[in-house]
Amino acid sequence: MADVILIGEVNDGKLRRVTHEILGELVRQGVDPIVVIPGNGLAPSLAEELGKHGASKVVYLEHDGLKQYSTEGYANALHGYLGSKQISAIVTGATAQGKDFLPRLAAKLGVGMAGDCTELKASGGSFTVRRPVYAGKCSKAVEFVKGPAVFSIRPNVLQMETGKAKMASVEKAAANPGTIRAKIVEVHASGGKKVELTEADNIISGGRPLKEKFNILFECAETIGAAVGASRAACDEGFAAADMQVGQTGKTVSPKLYIACGISGAIQHLAGMRTAKVIVAVNKSADAPIFGVADYGLVADLFEVVPLLTQEFKALKS
Amino acid sequence: MNIFVLVKQVPDTETKIRVNASSSGIEAKEIAKWIVNPYDEHAIEEALKTKEKLKEGTVTAIAVGPDRVVEALRTALAMGCDNAIHIKADESIDTYVAAKALAAACKKESPQLIFAGKQAIDDDQAATFGYVAEYLDIPSVSVVVKVDVATDKKSLRAVREVEGGTHTVETSLPALIAVNQGINNPRYASLPGIMKAKKKEIKAHTLADLGLGSETALTKDSAFALPPPRKACVILQGEVPAQVKELVKRLREEAKVI
């Protein structure tokens, strides 16, 4: 039977959680994927960790040229390794990296792809996926006319598997990253303990009424390790940085907890956060559309609510 | 420098999304207005700025789709693009066919630099840029928030956003750059620009004359569905401090999220 390939992503010497999440879903559906990790000098602990989450076969696709990520190096090496094999599906996380190389890999294979999926269904060697479109206002099923099915899965959506630990076998395969024309020359980590919006479990977001006072959200966010987001209006007016924008023209997030402060809930914004597990809305106007998607609503002044919330969260942690 | 911009026309962000009767797509009647994909506006702006900085060159906007996409190309021209190319195709194409067509049309004109938006806000696929770059066999950098073309015009540096930071990528030209918002503030079309754009000729191709007459979509969409409705909102009662206490209690005990 044709193999299913899960391309693993390593960040800071550890596998990204999304790799385990996809693995978990595949294992639950009776698929035993080959986890392929491009890199060089990859630690044995990665395979052990994958085994704990249900993987039985791991391939380290190694070459000095893969030590650092590059679009072309990854696409070339993976195509070289996978090109001649019998494969029914290739899947990876819809991360900055996955979203970047996967289209090029699909193009090399001459197949279609589906990006940023939230569901996958394996049946008899063929795959169907579901992916949000129109920033989550709607979703669609995607079938692949010819194989392999190539798709990426959104982080934070599928569940990891912990009950099916195995000893994963590790095979080392030589890779050929080919000619790399676009190379990373500088890596810059954004300062401090900033939590990445798309990976955050908790998000506190603010709208235009916050004006220059986003600091109160940051203070509150710190108490529960939350990321801070913003509405388009707040970003357009310069109250919040552009990379904080949640919505159709900003980031799509699906945290466990989303607290919207002073955000009315334009369609544009709802599209980016409506898949959050629990939504809390704080707004002075009881008619604000945000209450239509919220689980808990506080019809109150955010400037009164947020400092109290910070206190309560602090009390909780101590 | 010969600069190209990939442009997609998308339904306005205010469009009410409903699923059509056969679940094969969204209800077309609800689309009151089509716009240039917002990320592509940033791409157009960056192309125009690059031309201005280099003090030479041309900017060509290129789009694939039915006749309505000409309107998006007119907007691109009104913003300041010099030329526009329309590849005629019906609604059935997917990322693969669209990218094949864009790449084939680009190839005829050998652009040195291609800009695109990081994704279109209708399909949210974020893949066209990669396919096009691959089919042109040129390097690509995605989710870019800053571009600096070297003075010799043979290479560029692009800053790309990744989880928790940025990567600065250096690449030879030609290259394709998929931009994110935050890279610039797109200009508005000026009135003279709009007038001029109306008269400009838009070059047209068909899939057949690009040698792609037999290409068909490699993915099939179906079963469009709206997200399940959320439960009704619990509006907390009492004085604000009591509401906040109640909220934290419920987040802990009922929702179990903190």
CB A116 within 8 Å of CB B124: yes
A238: left (phi over 0), alpha (psi -120 to 50) or beta: left
pLDDT at A190: 74
User: Sorting pLDDT into bands at 50, 70 and 90, what band is A192?
Assistant: low
Q: Is A256 exposed, middle or buried (0-12, 13-18, 19+ CB in 10 A)?
A: middle
pLDDT at B136: 98
Q: How many structural domains is chain A composed of?
A: 2
Percent of chain B with pLDDT strictly greater than 90: 93
The minimum CA-CA distance between A212 and chain B, rounded to whole Å, is: 19
For B7-53, where are the E strands, in sequence order?
9-11, 34-36
Asked if A122 and A220 sit in the same domain, the reply is no
Beta carbons of B164 and A190 less than 8 Å apart: yes
Beta carbons of B130 and A112 less than 8 Å apart: no
Residue A187 resides in a domain: no
Question: What string of DSSP letters covers A300-313?
Answer: S-HHHHHHHHHHHH
pLDDT at B164: 81
Greatest extent of chain B over all pairs of C-alpha atoms, in Å: 70
pLDDT at A210: 96
**What is the rounded average pLDDT of the residues B124-140?**
97
Convert the pLDDT of each residue in A62-111 to its tens digit: 999 999 999 999 999 999 999 889 999 999 999 999 999 999 999 999 99
Question: What letter represents residue A225's amino acid?
Answer: G
pLDDT at B13: 87
Convert the pLDDT of each residue in B141-174 to its tens digit: 999 999 999 999 999 999 999 988 899 999 999 9
Q: What is the pTM of this model?
A: 0.91
Average pLDDT, chain B: 96
Residue A190 resides in a domain: no
pLDDT at A191: 63
Asked if A215 and A302 sit in the same domain, the reply is yes
Q: How far is CA A120 from CA A52, A132, A154, A307, B156, in A?
A: 22, 12, 11, 42, 39
Nearest partner of A34 among A48, A12, A50, A45, judged by Cα: A50
β-pairing verdict for A257-261 and A202-206: parallel
**What is the rounded average pLDDT of the residues B5-29?**
94
Convert the pLDDT of each residue in A225-276 to its tens digit: 999 999 999 999 999 998 899 998 888 888 999 999 999 999 889 989 988 9
Domain end point (choices A142, A174, A206): A174
Asked if A220 and A125 sit in the same domain, the reply is no
**What is the rounded average pLDDT of the residues A105-134?**
95
Asked if A228 and A131 sit in the same domain, the reply is no
Beta carbons of A309 and B165 less than 8 Å apart: no
Global ipTM: 0.94
Residue A184 resides in a domain: no
Number of cross-chain residue pairs from A and B with Cβ atoms under 8 Å apart: 261
Residue A224 resides in a domain: yes
pLDDT at A199: 81
pLDDT at A193: 55
Report residue A7: phi and psi, to 5°: -85, 115
User: Sorting pLDDT into bands at 50, 70 and 90, what band is A55?
Assistant: very high
Chain A residue with Cα closest to B169:
A184
Instruction: Note down the domain range covering A127.
Output: 3-174
Domain annotation for chain B: domains and CATH numbers: 2-206 (3.40.50.620)
Residue bearing tokens 């990006």: A115
Q: Is A300 exposed, middle or buried (0-12, 13-18, 19+ CB in 10 A)?
A: middle
pLDDT at B36: 98
Residues of B in Cβ contact (< 8 Å) with A102: 127, 130
Asked if A32 and A134 sit in the same domain, the reply is yes
Asked if A269 and A130 sit in the same domain, the reply is no
Say if residue B191's pLDDT is above 70. Answer: yes
- Look up the CATH number of the domain holding residue A54: 3.40.50.620
How far is Cα of residue A208 from the mean position of the Cα atoms in its chain?
27
Selecting from B124, B216, B218 the residue whose C-beta is nearest the C-beta of A111 gives B218
